[in-house]
Structure 1
Amino acid sequence: MSQFIQPGAVLGIVGGGLEAYRLGMTARQLGLKVVVLAPDEGDVAFAAADMPLVGASTDAAALARLAEVTAVITYVDEFVNGDALAELTTARQLPSGVDILAVTQDRYLEKVFLDDLNMNTLPYAQVVTPQDVTKAVESVGFPAILKPIQKSLGHDAALLLKSPQDVQAAAGLLATRPYVMEAWLDQPTEFAVAVAKSGDLVQVMPPVQNVFAQHQLKASLVPAVADAAVAQEITRVAQVIAKRLAYAGVFGIEFFMTANQTLYVKRVFPGPQPSGAILAPTTGTSAEELHLRALLGWPLPAVNVLRPGVLLPLYEADRAAAMTQLAIKPAWQFRFYPAGAGAIGQVAVFGDRALVAQAINATDHFHL
């Protein structure tokens, strides 16, 4: 367990964006002072900072400035210079360590890590040359997706292969960087679970079902639509992975599930993630608070679903519809973010799943 750190300490957050903003706001509520290192002067995370530092999370000099002024440091994603961060900080200053980054920064190493734990993953193969693509297709099959081994390159660098004709298009990609080929599932059910680890204590949060469109989160649902056996397997997988990781704080795991309820581990990521925003309104405890408690050496509360709910992220295209619902839906729980967050806010709707879906669909804008 991390050493006990009292309110009033200075927390450093590496990385900007909405999750850094949420984490910073929660830290301030817990009595911490907040320093945020983010790449742009206009980053939304600076709205939650007592002290902004402009710099890249991969810049050793910027990380050194952060380390000089903070008692505890955390990172909000895997896109950080782990080697520099480890060299510049003490174990007390960086309770999460950097071991998780070795798993989460590289898609191939992440697959190997999961294989070593006997996790169920989709068929995959490492692809370095155009010849590797043909061999990989023989083992993975069609459809398949090529993703850069380096996660920071994002969805735009991926390529979906549906037939032998698509293989030729992959040759150009491989001229620049290595890839991982993975079997592709069409419209699987997706789940995520947040896991808090503090010393030997592992606290698995209630699983969340997520709905995506074009890689954009559209809805998060609690309790997840899954039978007891699926929920138990998600919890078991989370506990196994948590025990292997040398880590303190909250990390997340995402899953695919097929129509016949075969569950696959999709990915692992450090820190609280956007889909975890549903936990605060449905359980009364946020993933951000649990993360900070683990880092500060504070005890972790038990987390249970208090009321079922659905959370809809609100984007700029939803602004007019959101304002309409805000004016007429007193029971809907709205939250809005400062400019630059990517999303303009979120709304949580509580109650029986069928009735909630009916109410959301009746808006003629939002759909579940």
Structure 2
Amino acid sequence: MSLEFLPGSTIGILGDDMMSQYVAQVAHNMGYNVAAYSTNPDAPVLSEADYRFVETAGDLTALQNFLALSSMVTYTSSWLPAKVIDALAESRLPQGTDLLQLTDDHALGRAFAESQSLNILPYETVSSLDEVAHAAADLGYPVVVKPIFKHKHHDDTVILRGDWDLGLVAPMIDGGTLIVETWLDDVQEFAMTAVRGVTGDIKIYPLRQTTVATDHMRRAWTIGDIADDLMTVMLGVTEQVGEALQYIGAYNVAFFYSSTGNLYIRDIAAGVQETAAVYTATTNVSVAEQHVRAITGQALSDILINQAAIYMPFTTEQVPALMRHWDIQANWQIYFYRFPDTTGKAGYVLACGPSVTLLFNQLHVAGVWQFAD
């Protein structure tokens, strides 16, 4: 396969979130044509595409036509149906499908981590309520119980804090396999995004910290000061993952850091994460642009950091409060989605400046978002 993929060719893009649209915009800016496939007729990427393919009633004709038209295919999200992943086998797909499999299957993901000697939370696989009880006793409460496949019952995650909670798991017992994993209450979450090129070079974006707010939306901000040894480990793990999988394009490694000073791999995901939008305001090259550079055989750009930023998603209900700041906040970049997503997210704000601490103070008094005490 030639490493070069020159402008004028057609890139096929898979993905239903806003990151797919951003990648399509970058591809257009670089001179490529864009084909898009989705099972959702309102997927943002379709509005940016030159050629649009929408699945109807499980018919694979649209997918087959999409693949036939696309000279190269890329995905920006790890959540692809199994039939789509199978169909990609015959396509020019620089990213490959290994990371898709690891992302969706908890068991495969943990097996990969163990093969690479990466530190993960203790877990057991189970299939019955009795096995859940034994696993929880072995691991020690609290534990989290979730389906082995992330695409299956994605919202079915139960936290057990004692034997009295075992009844909460009963609706999940259907003969399939479940994961029982140690749960950490007092934990910090970090994420590193990297892009690996066709020649094996890896560019890693600045560390960001993330948290899930009360509205279940994930926020993110850049990190300035952190212990050197902790940063060294996270950088090493991120590089190791890309090399081990021989992955090309953007990928994300998320971490748990416990109050006892232990670092664990939370998950590894392919594509461009939504919280990675924070880098459009903090670095000289966005993740979407770097991703397209990688899959088309271009040299990757060195990443230069120019300021701090916080990524704050907002809902349709928060728009009136946000609009009160429209003519006030000179350091806010406000991005609206054309269509709110299934969670009600209507867009996001990037608050930018020299200090994350000062930015959080500004966001606290703005009155748009709620913050934990």
TM-score, with length taken from structure 1? 0.92
Alignment of 1:118-133 (within 5 A): 118-133=117-132
Shift in alpha-carbon separation, 1:237–1:141, aligned structure 2, 3 A: same
For residues 46 and 286 of structure 1, the distance between their equivalents in structure 2, rounded to whole angstroms, comes to: 21
Alignment of 1:60-139 (within 5 A): 60-80=60-80, 81=82, 83-89=85-91, 93-139=92-138
Q: Deviations over 1:232-273 (max 9, x none)?
A: 111011011111103210111111111233211000111010
Q: Which residue of the partner structure matches residue 153 of structure 1?
A: 152
Query: By how many angstroms is 1:217 displaced?
Result: 3.2
For residues 221 and 64 of structure 1, the distance between their equivalents in structure 2, rounded to whole angstroms, comes to: 40
For residues 57 and 259 of structure 1, the distance between their equivalents in structure 2, rounded to whole angstroms, comes to: 48
Alignment of 1:1-368 (within 5 A): 3-55=3-55, 60-80=60-80, 81=82, 83-89=85-91, 93-153=92-152, 155-199=154-198, 200-214=200-214, 216-223=216-223, 226-341=226-341, 342-349=344-351, 350-366=353-369
Gaps of 5+ in 1: none
For residues 305 and 51 of structure 1, the distance between their equivalents in structure 2, rounded to whole angstroms, comes to: 36
Query: By how many angstroms is 1:142 displaced?
Result: 0.7
SS of 1:340's partner is coil
Shift in alpha-carbon separation, 1:215–1:240, aligned structure 2, 3 A: farther
Deviation larger for 22-31 or 234-243 = 22-31
Number of residue equivalences = 365
Q: Is the 8 A contact 1:208 1:221 kept in 2?
A: yes
Q: Deviations over 1:308-330 (max 9, x none)?
A: 11121222122012211122112
RMSD of Structure 2 on Structure 1 (CA): 2.2
Q: Deviations over 1:268-289 (max 9, x none)?
A: 1110101100011101211111
Letter matched to residue 210 of structure 1:
T
SS of 1:242's partner is helix
Shift in alpha-carbon separation, 1:311–1:87, aligned structure 2, 3 A: closer
Query: By how many angstroms is 1:202 displaced?
Result: 1.7
Q: Is the 8 A contact 1:248 1:294 kept in 2?
A: yes
Query: By how many angstroms is 1:335 displaced?
Result: 2.1
Query: By how many angstroms is 1:8 displaced?
Result: 2.1
Letter matched to residue 351 of structure 1:
P
SS of 1:326's partner is coil
For residues 225 and 366 of structure 1, the distance between their equivalents in structure 2, rounded to whole angstroms, comes to: 25
SS of 1:234's partner is helix
Q: Is the 8 A contact 1:57 1:63 kept in 2?
A: no
SS of 1:275's partner is helix
Shift in alpha-carbon separation, 1:23–1:58, aligned structure 2, 3 A: farther
Q: Is the 8 A contact 1:360 1:367 kept in 2?
A: no
Shift in alpha-carbon separation, 1:2–1:317, aligned structure 2, 3 A: farther
Q: Deviations over 1:16-58 (max 9, x none)?
A: 1222122222222222211111112222221221221102899
SS of 1:101's partner is helix
Q: Is the 8 A contact 2:74 2:95 kept in 1?
A: yes
Query: By how many angstroms is 1:212 displaced?
Result: 0.9
Query: By how many angstroms is 1:155 displaced?
Result: 4.3
Shift in alpha-carbon separation, 1:34–1:203, aligned structure 2, 3 A: same
For residues 22 and 35 of structure 1, the distance between their equivalents in structure 2, rounded to whole angstroms, comes to: 14
For residues 290 and 153 of structure 2, the distance between their equivalents in structure 1, rounded to whole angstroms, comes to: 28
Q: Is the 8 A contact 2:128 2:175 kept in 1?
A: no
Query: By how many angstroms is 1:215 displaced?
Result: 7.4
Q: Deviations over 1:83-112 (max 9, x none)?
A: 5234331xxx21111121221120111011
Query: By how many angstroms is 1:114 displaced?
Result: 0.5
For residues 135 and 258 of structure 1, the distance between their equivalents in structure 2, rounded to whole angstroms, comes to: 25
Percent identity for Structure 1 against Structure 2: 24
List structure 1 segments (4+ residues) > 6 angstroms apart after TM superposition.
56-59
For residues 208 and 291 of structure 2, the distance between their equivalents in structure 1, rounded to whole angstroms, comes to: 17
SS of 2:247's partner is coil
For residues 248 and 12 of structure 1, the distance between their equivalents in structure 2, rounded to whole angstroms, comes to: 16
Deviation larger for 64-73 or 16-25 = 16-25
For residues 253 and 97 of structure 2, the distance between their equivalents in structure 1, rounded to whole angstroms, comes to: 17
Shift in alpha-carbon separation, 1:282–1:363, aligned structure 2, 3 A: same
Deviation larger for 331-340 or 95-104 = 331-340
Query: By how many angstroms is 1:61 displaced?
Result: 4.0
Letter matched to residue 345 of structure 2:
A
Query: By how many angstroms is 1:60 displaced?
Result: 4.9
Q: Deviations over 1:217-244 (max 9, x none)?
A: 3421112563222221110110111111
Query: By how many angstroms is 1:337 displaced?
Result: 2.1
For residues 74 and 124 of structure 1, the distance between their equivalents in structure 2, rounded to whole angstroms, comes to: 32
SS of 2:324's partner is helix
For residues 290 and 57 of structure 2, the distance between their equivalents in structure 1, rounded to whole angstroms, comes to: 23
